[in-house]
Structure 1
């Protein structure tokens, strides 16, 4: 039955995208892909009006305006406790809005002021005319994380806290394929370095607890270095708040010893998304997202194995504790309905649900399905870039959490 659900969900995402062969198949024609902001309000505009503060127009990059969104907020963190998070986003166009997608960079440092911190920087850059796409993900992190071991039937209370410093460097360069306006191919480099991996208590043996022998030695390091081969199909004009369209991304990662990896191992990541608009003049969208992430071979480091919430942007699995389920293969399916509440789109709401499953350690089968549901409020933070301030609450069996972010989860 679980195989049926997995296959059906992936097939649905695939079939939805095949109904239109070009951008005119969406409800937003190509010449209107950049949203008209007339008559719409956002937090920035309201604050400036109330305080009677006047700023110069946003700066320009190569003649194009840059729109900033910045907000400090508090949130729960992995391992327990609270953190202070400052999220900054800059969105800009490097080319004509008729044929160039919106680029953005995000910087969201956080700390709990107790020696634990996270410094992430992400970028998604579209060159003029969408000829090139450059994406990057760079992080320096020291936050402890619980782990429950492998498989989908681990007891909630049977967990250990693992500490390490994490360095990530991901960079991709994709070139548009001739005569295919939304199809891109390219290569990249991925580095994952987990430093001084150790349990919260030295009496605990991580390898024995997880039953996994790669990257689980107490007081050891884990280093993975690999080349990626990327295929991207993307008709979304704005990844911060996607309008009708679809998105496919396939990434094959090869981690050879010659590049510094401790052993040869491989992974495959396939991501499919579909966005359906019910009204071209309002924010009224139904979104679908499914991804399959698998490692090939049996020697991938434990902390590099597929785990819920550890997708490429760490936005999946709302309602689940980070890394709650880990396996050699992970499947996740999510759907979300998004709608404005006010005519000026200052306020909106979302409702969402998700399902995920990981393979079992002994038979590599999907045996358990886990579900979560949630809802959230949206406040338009910057109407020019379409950036929303997102406040979500989500829950799964035995766990719930609050989430704050700039931009949509997917």
Structure 2
């Protein structure tokens, strides 16, 4: 395991230093004219006979809203639910020097006793001097589990009741252009942990002794490194992204047990037709490695598919299907406009993961694939509504999202 971690860390600077950042992102010194683009806001103005203004140009200090209230299903056994995803995006400085800040609030309620209030934010201060990241959640959130590793079949699962509070906050200071370093605080607090089936002992089912009954608390400090040449995380333009988060959870901060973790996230976006920057034709790659170093990390805080920071990995798989002490993930996605005005587009994706627990990492692989439709909701922030169909062994689903998966 130590050799694998060292190998990943060695690859990180090599992959980033080998690239010329000036050639990886569009030139920011020009204000993008979206007059020839179409989105659902334009269509709404036409249907309701709202007089259009002068051709719309992206302006600084403007807030772009995207709201999507829909019925749907929530991962983890909550059944049908009412979901409202609201994204607000704005520039806090000149677009030529400042990335797009975004806040997403996506509450859900299944009209019974299960609900969630997640709020995520990424705020870029003027001239990208600081990046402030936040992740706050209050969830009454049952989720299926299959134990550690991949030895359980799809039907060999149990529903775990869990009340969950998360509070993550970090601040990263710009060190050099595109490179940031900082620290933060992370709290994961689980209560009411038990199997929904009274005949199932969760500790025996998972063969894991920590955080499988009652409650668990993980309270720690994070050390963060970030390299980001994208200027829009909602719909990334060609560029690169690398994020390294080391987390230490000492008992004096309130953790039940002392444990550490490492999360390494690498992404690359390649423009397939750079001569037409206003048209989507992109090949995107995403990989992450997530591991814990101590054997007593709480069960629900172990690396698990679909539990990356933005809960977007493993599309086409049931969330939490694979959990272990280490997880490796890789995804490739092709994104392309269907219409010249950018209103409609499509994606095709495939992903694969390997998890330790019932065996050694990289000895068992779990693939998924799918495709989807894109509808431009707000061309000012380049926000899409995505309707994807994904499938894997024993599972398939329709997924509705605001923004791209990564």
TM-score computed with the length of structure 1 as normaliser: 0.92
Number of the residue aligned with 2:49: 52
Number of the residue aligned with 2:389: 393
Q: Secondary structure at the residue paired with 1:45?
A: helix
Number of the residue aligned with 1:322: 319
Structure 2 counterparts to residues 212-223 of structure 1, below 5 A? 212-217=208-213, 220-223=214-217
Number of the residue aligned with 1:309: 306
Alpha-carbon distance between aligned partners in 2 of 1:16 and 1:297, rounded to the nearest angstrom = 29
User: After alignment, is 275-284 or 124-133 more displaced?
Assistant: 275-284
Residue 157 of structure 2 is aligned to residue 159 of structure 1: yes
Residue 251 of structure 2 is aligned to residue 251 of structure 1: no
Q: Is the contact between residue 78 and residue 114 of structure 2 (CA under 8 Å) also seen in structure 1? A: no
Alpha-carbon distance between aligned partners in 2 of 1:266 and 1:364, rounded to the nearest angstrom = 20
Q: Deviations over 1:9-33 (max 9, x none)?
A: 99998766444232x222623424x
Change (3 A) 1:116 1:89: same
Structure 2 counterparts to residues 346-361 of structure 1, below 5 A? 346-361=343-358
Quick one: which of 70, 88, 91 aligns to 1:90? 88
Number of the residue aligned with 1:274: 268
Change (3 A) 1:225 1:6: closer
Q: CA RMSD in A?
A: 2.3
Deviation at 1:37, TM superposition (A): 1.3
Alpha-carbon distance between aligned partners in 2 of 1:203 and 1:286, rounded to the nearest angstrom = 48
User: After alignment, is 346-355 or 41-50 more displaced?
Assistant: 41-50
Q: Is the contact between residue 186 and residue 219 of structure 2 (CA under 8 Å) also seen in structure 1? A: yes
Q: Secondary structure at the residue paired with 1:307?
A: coil
Q: Deviations over 1:360-387 (max 9, x none)?
A: 34x5433210000000000000000000
Alpha-carbon distance between aligned partners in 2 of 1:29 and 1:379, rounded to the nearest angstrom = 25
Alpha-carbon distance between aligned partners in 1 of 2:62 and 2:157, rounded to the nearest angstrom = 49
Alpha-carbon distance between aligned partners in 2 of 1:264 and 1:169, rounded to the nearest angstrom = 18
Quick one: which of 292, 297, 300 aligns to 2:294? 297
Deviation at 1:54, TM superposition (A): 6.3
Deviation at 1:7, TM superposition (A): 11
Deviation at 1:51, TM superposition (A): 0.6
Alpha-carbon distance between aligned partners in 1 of 2:323 and 2:50, rounded to the nearest angstrom = 50
Number of the residue aligned with 1:74: 71
- Provide the aligned length of Structure 1 versus Structure 2: 395
Number of the residue aligned with 2:20: 21
Q: Is the contact between residue 14 and residue 272 of structure 1 (CA under 8 Å) also seen in structure 2? A: no
Number of the residue aligned with 2:405: 409
Number of the residue aligned with 2:371: 375
Deviation at 1:55, TM superposition (A): 9.8
Q: Secondary structure at the residue paired with 2:88?
A: strand
Q: Secondary structure at the residue paired with 1:303?
A: helix
Deviation at 1:164, TM superposition (A): 1.2
Residue 334 of structure 2 is aligned to residue 334 of structure 1: no
Residue 132 of structure 2 is aligned to residue 134 of structure 1: yes
Q: Is the contact between residue 274 and residue 287 of structure 1 (CA under 8 Å) also seen in structure 2? A: yes
Change (3 A) 1:119 1:370: same
Q: Secondary structure at the residue paired with 1:400?
A: strand
Change (3 A) 1:157 1:139: same
Q: Deviations over 1:187-221 (max 9, x none)?
A: 0000001111111122211101100000012xx11
Q: Is the contact between residue 93 and residue 100 of structure 1 (CA under 8 Å) also seen in structure 2? A: yes
Number of the residue aligned with 1:236: 230
Alpha-carbon distance between aligned partners in 2 of 1:94 and 1:315, rounded to the nearest angstrom = 26
TM-score computed with the length of structure 2 as normaliser: 0.92
Q: Secondary structure at the residue paired with 1:191?
A: strand
Q: Is the contact between residue 78 and residue 110 of structure 2 (CA under 8 Å) also seen in structure 1? A: no
Alpha-carbon distance between aligned partners in 2 of 1:334 and 1:370, rounded to the nearest angstrom = 12
User: After alignment, is 75-84 or 151-160 more displaced?
Assistant: 75-84
Change (3 A) 1:189 1:10: closer
Q: Secondary structure at the residue paired with 2:29?
A: helix
